[in-house]
Chains A and B, each alone.
Chain A
């Protein structure tokens, strides 16, 4: 089971860069645009 990382970032580019970078080294990425979304995903 791969490690999941939650990325909460409102800027699409930043989000994408993080996703591309982290996924390229094998992490599973969860993304959220706002804090509320992030909290929801986390729970």
Chain B
């Protein structure tokens, strides 16, 4: 039981891991979801704000351009009167326009064939009738085709962004008014827009060139931004009111990743871009995320602590239960498990306690019973011992008491037959012979029964002394020779000359041989009886064979048992006690030898026995 392998318990660890996973999982999920939604909301809000600003700026710029366009439109109305007057009138109009609209730097008139008729400038003198041919110029062609021409942005005096606007008058003979417009206003608008700390606005024209930026030097570099994703998106997409559509993440002009929003300036095909570096745009969000992370970490720490507490609370009673059960299992039945969790575990502990109490009780009563039984058995043993002593005593007495009257019977009979008491009539002499035979038989019986009883009671002790097997055989031979001769049987002895000196109970071994030889002679009618003996490996092997009727297989098993003869009628016919072979078997076994028979019906029998040559200690007969 001690060797039973205990499973290594990791219940505490399992519960701890489970609790930590559960609690931290919930915390993580909620934290991540919260962060995600906060990010989305923040981004949407930012985008919306930027969108509004961008659209406002776009609207402002569009209004500026449209206003100027309107003003120019106004000057294109046909002048009535003779050409001189009309020219002067137009010239006056232009002066007035330059005064009214400060953004217009220069304004001129091309006639229907594209020849310059008039040019009024803030910077130079008026040019009248220069006839310079602009008929191939894009501004003339486009204006004539009915569209307002907005030219590319260019710079005057290296710092002033300008643009050409050309508008055709109504009617086939109407000329084209060409105005050079200073776009500084747009720069002002763009510069005024502040998006956070470092965020800014810029304007890109329809060809992708930067035309307005708070940093004028960038504009002067004539940066081509047409390859940038936000510009491509602005040019490709039809600007819609949807905020998300016009907001994206793109690098700003300094290469920083920025949240970029664009809005189109419809009349000119330009776009206003608002860019705020992501780092700045999401700074509050990052702060909030950091806060969340710190809270999450705190939560996790707390979760671990709580898990430790919970796992301990769950596992401790189970461990107590395990330890208690182990103690009870190891035999400490008086041990009681103390769990006060108020739940199934406490109930379980109580069941264990109950079980232990029951076991203890059963154990106690069992011990008591065992004690009583042991006492009873000891008493029985004493009684048996006493009975056995009585039996031995009885046997010892009987052997003497039975033999004494037998002696008297046989002695008197013999004396009578020897004519000690006078002449005996023939008839009585015959009867006396029968008395003598029966007496001898009875004495044999008594002797055998006493021998068997002594052996069974373990009272027979061998007298172990040196002996010569050859002498023993010879003695027995002499005793039975006359019987064999009487029956006309040949009795032969076959012994090697150099048989070693044996050690054993000579008298009992003679009894064995006498029994075997007596049986052989008794049961054999014709033929011979032979005794052979050899010595090898410290063992005598002796065989007594005859040419008698043989013994059947079944009977071979029984003949060594007490009071068994192959045929019970034989006892009556042949005499004998039926105890001879049983005594033989016991004597041989007490010497540590073995006896057996080989026989077939009608083929005679051979009784074998082995015998240790030097028997130093008496063995137990089975």
Q: Residues on A close to B: CB < 8 A?
A: 11, 13-14, 17, 20-21, 24
A20→B411 CA distance, assembly (Å): 10
Chain A residue numbers with a CB within 8 Å of B421 are: 20
Q: Taking the complex as formed, is B408 at the interface, i.e. its CB lies under 8 A from any CB of chain A? A: yes
Q: How far is the CB of B405 from chain A (nearest CB, A)?
A: 8
Beyond the given pairs A17-B408, A21-B418, 14 more chain A to chain B contacts, judged by CB atoms under 8 angstroms and listed by A's residue number, are A11-B404, A11-B407, A13-B404, A13-B405, A13-B411, A13-B412, A14-B404, A14-B411, A17-B411, A17-B412, A21-B411, A24-B415, A24-B418, A24-B420
B420 with A14: CB separation less than 8 A: no
Chain B residue numbers with a CB within 8 Å of A24 are: 415, 418, 420
| Smallest CB-CB A-B distances: 4 pairs | A13-B408, A17-B411, A24-B420, A20-B420
Tell me the nearest residue of chain A to B416, going by C-beta: A20
Tell me the nearest residue of chain A to B409, going by C-beta: A13
A21 with B404: CB separation less than 8 A: no
A24→B418 CA distance, assembly (Å): 10
28 residue pairs of the A-B complex, CB under 8 angstroms, read: A11-B404, A11-B407, A11-B408, A13-B404, A13-B405, A13-B407, A13-B408, A13-B411, A13-B412, A14-B404, A14-B407, A14-B408, A14-B411, A17-B407, A17-B408, A17-B411, A17-B412, A17-B415, A20-B415, A20-B420, A20-B421, A21-B411, A21-B415, A21-B418, A21-B420, A24-B415, A24-B418, A24-B420
Q: How far is the CB of B398 from chain A (nearest CB, A)?
A: 16
Chain B residue numbers with a CB within 8 Å of A20 are: 415, 420-421
Q: Residues on B close to A: CB < 8 A?
A: 404-405, 407-408, 411-412, 415, 418, 420-421
Chain A residue numbers with a CB within 8 Å of B408 are: 11, 13-14, 17
Chain B residue numbers with a CB within 8 Å of A21 are: 411, 415, 418, 420
Chain A residue numbers with a CB within 8 Å of B404 are: 11, 13-14
What DSSP secondary structure best describes chain B's contact surface?
helix
Chain A residue numbers with a CB within 8 Å of B405 are: 13
Chain A residue numbers with a CB within 8 Å of B407 are: 11, 13-14, 17
Chain B residue numbers with a CB within 8 Å of A14 are: 404, 407-408, 411
A13→B403 CA distance, assembly (Å): 12
A14→B407 CA distance, assembly (Å): 7
A19→B408 CA distance, assembly (Å): 13
A13→B415 CA distance, assembly (Å): 12
Of the candidates A14, A17, A21, the one having the most CB atoms from chain B within 10 angstroms of its own CB is A17
Q: How far is the CB of A21 from chain B (nearest CB, A)?
A: 6
Tell me the nearest residue of chain B to A18, going by C-beta: B411
A17→B400 CA distance, assembly (Å): 18
Chain A residue numbers with a CB within 8 Å of B418 are: 21, 24
Chain A residue numbers with a CB within 8 Å of B412 are: 13, 17
Chain B residue numbers with a CB within 8 Å of A13 are: 404-405, 407-408, 411-412
Chain B residue numbers with a CB within 8 Å of A17 are: 407-408, 411-412, 415
Tell me the nearest residue of chain B to A17, going by C-beta: B411
A17→B407 CA distance, assembly (Å): 9
A11→B404 CA distance, assembly (Å): 8
A24→B421 CA distance, assembly (Å): 9
A19→B404 CA distance, assembly (Å): 16
A24→B412 CA distance, assembly (Å): 13
Tell me the nearest residue of chain B to A21, going by C-beta: B415
A14→B403 CA distance, assembly (Å): 11
Tell me the nearest residue of chain B to A11, going by C-beta: B404
A17→B412 CA distance, assembly (Å): 6
Tell me the nearest residue of chain B to A10, going by C-beta: B404
A6→B162 CA distance, assembly (Å): 182
A43→B420 CA distance, assembly (Å): 31
A14→B408 CA distance, assembly (Å): 6
Tell me the nearest residue of chain B to A25, going by C-beta: B420
A20→B419 CA distance, assembly (Å): 11
A17→B417 CA distance, assembly (Å): 13
Q: How far is the CB of B303 from chain A (nearest CB, A)?
A: 110
Q: How far is the CB of B189 from chain A (nearest CB, A)?
A: 164
A24→B411 CA distance, assembly (Å): 14
Tell me the nearest residue of chain B to A12, going by C-beta: B408
A14→B405 CA distance, assembly (Å): 9
A21→B412 CA distance, assembly (Å): 9
A15→B500 CA distance, assembly (Å): 44
Chain B residue numbers with a CB within 8 Å of A11 are: 404, 407-408
Tell me the nearest residue of chain A to B420, going by C-beta: A24
A24→B407 CA distance, assembly (Å): 19
A17→B420 CA distance, assembly (Å): 10
A37→B30 CA distance, assembly (Å): 128
Q: How far is the CB of B495 from chain A (nearest CB, A)?
A: 39
A13→B404 CA distance, assembly (Å): 9
Q: How far is the CB of B72 from chain A (nearest CB, A)?
A: 181
Q: How far is the CB of A17 from chain B (nearest CB, A)?
A: 4
Q: How far is the CB of B307 from chain A (nearest CB, A)?
A: 104
Q: How far is the CB of A40 from chain B (nearest CB, A)?
A: 25
Q: How far is the CB of A9 from chain B (nearest CB, A)?
A: 10
Chain A residue numbers with a CB within 8 Å of B411 are: 13-14, 17, 21
Q: How far is the CB of A8 from chain B (nearest CB, A)?
A: 15
A24→B275 CA distance, assembly (Å): 166
Chain A residue numbers with a CB within 8 Å of B420 are: 20-21, 24
A3→B429 CA distance, assembly (Å): 31
A21→B411 CA distance, assembly (Å): 9
Q: How far is the CB of B331 from chain A (nearest CB, A)?
A: 67
Tell me the nearest residue of chain A to B410, going by C-beta: A17
A28→B411 CA distance, assembly (Å): 19
A14→B411 CA distance, assembly (Å): 8
Q: How far is the CB of A39 from chain B (nearest CB, A)?
A: 23
A13→B420 CA distance, assembly (Å): 15
